[in-house]
Structure 1
Amino acid sequence: MSRLPALLAGLLLAGSALAQAGPEPVVPEGPPRPGEVLEDPDFGVRTGQFGLERTVEMYQWYRDANGDFQRVWKAGLVDSSGYPATHRNPDAMPVEPQRWWAAAPTLDGYPLDPSVLRALGRWETFRPAFTRLAANLAATFQPEGDGLSSADNPLDPQVGDLRLRWRELQLPELAGRVELVDGRWQLSPGTASAALNARPLPPVDVPEADDEPDDRRRWWPLLAGLLVLAGGMAWWRRRK
């Protein structure tokens, strides 16, 4: 009869630990929603996705490692101050690249943390309609491929010509990748860890040694209960 109390005590402790572990995480049901439509105010390009990006390239002179000059498309301004006068580039980019993010994205009616967009979003090129292009810009730029070009002849661009493209940020399926914390969708611990390993981030403050994350503290009672249960069963087998 003395063996039963120890076994019951182990089972009670294990059940208590499971109760303290908290409820099952909430699983997203609907698709995420970006909120308001994003727009490039200069060119009237719009998207209903979670981000909008304008990329800009300029046709410029470039001197390679062998000292030879060639004309290439470059996203950044090539410093030509040391080049001959016949191979000088413009001093500035007349149109700058720009990026816009969804200000209030939601999932199942709850806010979606911006870190989810930055960690899981995929930038995809798309072709705008250019129906909102201002008259002065329409006189300078013409459609080329998926974007715009300032070249009179896209097959024969000149130094200083611009080429613009747009990309939109799309989100994948979020089930299993986010969790609802204090009424806000955030990256799940596993997804956040994978994102940290996939791309370099600036250094962060390291917590004190006794400052354990909440999820780790949550599992200690369960582990203790299982250890007690295992000890009680081992003792019961030995007495048997």
Structure 2
Amino acid sequence: MSAAGMGARQWIAGIVGALLVLAGLGLVATTEQASIEHRVAAERHGGQVLEVQGDTRPDIGKNHYMVRVSGRLNVVDAPADPEFGQQVATPVLLRHVEMFQWREVRVAGDTHYEQDWVDRPVDSSRFERSAGHANPGAFPVQGKQFDAGLVKIGGYALAPALLHALPGGERVSPDMKTLPANLAASFSRNGDYLVTSANPAHPRLGDLRVSWEAVPVQVLTIFARPQGDLLVPATDAPDGKGYDVQVGDRRLVDVLPDVPEPPVFAVARRLLAMLLAGIGVLLLLSTRMSAHDALPIALGAGVLLAAAVAGVMWLGKDLQSSAYWFVLAVAGLGVVVWRLHARAAH
């Protein structure tokens, strides 16, 4: 080959090599930037997020990770209202108690009184005209909340704070067969209510009305911190909440819309970035040394360059990740130095 042809070949190899090195560094930079943005945003909500599939539980050790798990709730130990003998397969059972009482209603300066079901004692002594509108006072039966002993989703149990955050509610018809005899003598069923009214269509002052509400068993997506086999809120999360619960199988971007998705195929992109940088260095060296010497130097240089860029980008964001990258960069540098020393010795 003529000197001109050789020069042109070297020039083209140099240009292509430089472009490949830049492409590799650009690829690793964009990959790490996306990872950093995802990590920083996720930290506001408690930490790095792991996607959990099925009943598997990732081994996270003592690190502060969050998980996103979707599935249908499984009520293992159903709650019961022992006073009324009611038990329902639900995460949370609520007993509502109302009394038929006087209410003071003021409209445009006019005050009038009416009787209605109210879920708390109304202090009639504070009425403008209390005479003839006296209420009975304290309820003989109180409203209460009963939590299931164990509710699971995927491979995790739910802590009480997450049980109380479960959405929705549906009225439950009372089971008269399980109602204790002393209460069965006082209460009768009226639709989904138990009432003390002799005539439910025309309740009297002081009559009680009791009903139950159950949180539905449904498909949910829960974002929380795992503690062994228990999901709990991340109390140290900067967002002040540290968990989320949504109906249906929801993606992480739906649960945390301010958290960008992590880069797709991040590991493959990092390996490709090192490979592109290595091929670029190989082309730059191809006219200066034999392939036997150039190949290991190029591969080591590709790892060195890509890892150094990634390590610098993680500085100030995650020192552990930055350290991993710098260790990899040193390993690449070691390969380059070793091969150059071996070449010089010959």
Letter in 1 for 2:124: S
Identity score, percent: 29
Return the alpha-carbon distance in structure 1 between the equivalents of residues 169 and 213 of structure 2: 6
Shift of 1:179: 6.2
Shift of 1:41: 1.1
Q: Which residues in structure 2 correspond to 1:70-219 (within 5 Å)?
A: 70-82=114-126, 83-175=129-221, 177-178=222-223, 181=226, 183=228, 184-185=230-231
Shift of 1:73: 1.0
SS in 1 for 2:164: helix
Return the alpha-carbon distance in structure 2 between the equivalents of residues 157 and 45 of structure 1: 24
Return the alpha-carbon distance in structure 2 between the equivalents of residues 19 and 85 of structure 1: 71
Letter in 2 for 1:76: R
C-alpha distance 31-6 of structure 1, shift in aligned 2 (>3 A): same
Shift of 1:12: 5.1
Return the alpha-carbon distance in structure 1 between the equivalents of residues 215 and 174 of structure 2: 14
Letter in 2 for 1:5: V
Shift of 1:18: 8.3
Question: How many aligned positions are there?
Answer: 205
Q: Is the Cα contact below 8 Å between 2:223 and 2:243 reproduced in 1? A: no
Among 32, 42, 45, the alignment partner of 2:86 is 45
Q: Is the Cα contact below 8 Å between 1:71 and 1:159 reproduced in 2? A: yes
Q: TM-score, normalized by length of structure 2?
A: 0.49
SS in 2 for 1:25: strand
Aligned Cα root-mean-square deviation (Å): 4.0
Q: Is the Cα contact below 8 Å between 2:150 and 2:157 reproduced in 1? A: yes
Q: Is the Cα contact below 8 Å between 2:72 and 2:218 reproduced in 1? A: no
1 or 2 for the larger relative contact order (CA 8 Å, sep ≥6)? 1
Return the alpha-carbon distance in structure 2 between the equivalents of residues 16 and 80 of structure 1: 67
Shift of 1:68: 1.5
C-alpha distance 24-130 of structure 1, shift in aligned 2 (>3 A): same
Q: Is the Cα contact below 8 Å between 1:62 and 1:71 reproduced in 2? A: yes
C-alpha distance 182-37 of structure 1, shift in aligned 2 (>3 A): closer
Q: Is the Cα contact below 8 Å between 1:52 and 1:101 reproduced in 2? A: yes
Structure 2 residues without counterparts, runs of 5 or longer: 1-13, 40-47, 56-70, 246-257, 281-346
Letter in 2 for 1:60: Q
Shift of 1:45: 0.9
Shift of 1:95: 0.8
Q: Is the Cα contact below 8 Å between 1:104 and 1:112 reproduced in 2? A: yes
Note the alpha carbon deviations across 1:167-196, whole angstroms, 9 max, x for none. Answer: 111143224x4467454446899xx79969
C-alpha distance 157-16 of structure 1, shift in aligned 2 (>3 A): closer
Shift of 1:75: 0.8
Structure 1 residues without counterparts, runs of 5 or longer: 197-214
Return the alpha-carbon distance in structure 1 between the equivalents of residues 145 and 30 of structure 2: 51
Note the alpha carbon deviations across 1:127-174, whole angstroms, 9 max, x for none. Answer: 021212111111111111102000111112110000111011114322
